[in-house]
Amino acid sequence: MNVPSFPCGKRSKLEIYLDILRVVANEISEPATIMYAAKIPDKLLNEMLEKLEGWGLIEKKTARNRLRVLITPKGVRVLSKLDSASTKPATTHPEQKSSFLLPNNHL
C-alpha cells in the first residue's frame, strides 16, 4: 500500500486532500481505515470527505450497512495530474531571463 509520506511539520490542506485521495485510490474504503492511513482525526476527515464528494472526486456508498468511500474517474484524473505535477522539476518560463544573463548596464 502506498502510505502517504510527508516531511516533518504541518501538512497543507492540499497535501491532506491528496493523501486522502491516494488512500482511497488504493482501495481503502472504510472511513476509519482512511483516517488511520491518512493520519488525520475523524472530524477533519469527515469535513474533507464532504468537500471531496462535493467536488466530484469521491463518492460515498453504503454496502451491507457499511459506508464505503470510492474514488471517481474525475478523482483519479485529478490525483494523477497533481502527482505528476509535484514530481516535475521546476522550470522557468521561456520569456523569463535570469539577471546574470543581462548586460551590466541593465542592473
Spatial separation of the C-alpha atoms in residues 56 and 28, rounded to whole Å:
18
Reported as a single tens digit per residue, the pLDDT across 1-37 is 455 554 556 899 999 999 999 999 999 899 999 999 9
What topology does CATH give the domain 13-82? Arc Repressor Mutant, subunit A (1.10.10)
Q: How many CA atoms lie within 13 A of 101 on its CB side?
A: 4
Confidence tier at 106 by pLDDT (50, 70, 90): very low
Reported as a single tens digit per residue, the pLDDT across 49-75 is 999 999 999 999 998 999 999 999 999
Three-class secondary structure of residue 93 per DSSP? coil
Q: What is the pTM of this model?
A: 0.72
Overall average pLDDT of the 91-102 stretch: 50
Interacting residues of 27 by C-beta distance below 8 A, sequence separation 6+? none
Residue 100 has pLDDT above 50, yes or no: no
- The Cα-based distances of 18 to 14, 35, 45 in angstroms read 6, 13, 12
Q: Evaluate whether 41 touches 91 at the Cβ level (below 8 Å).
A: no
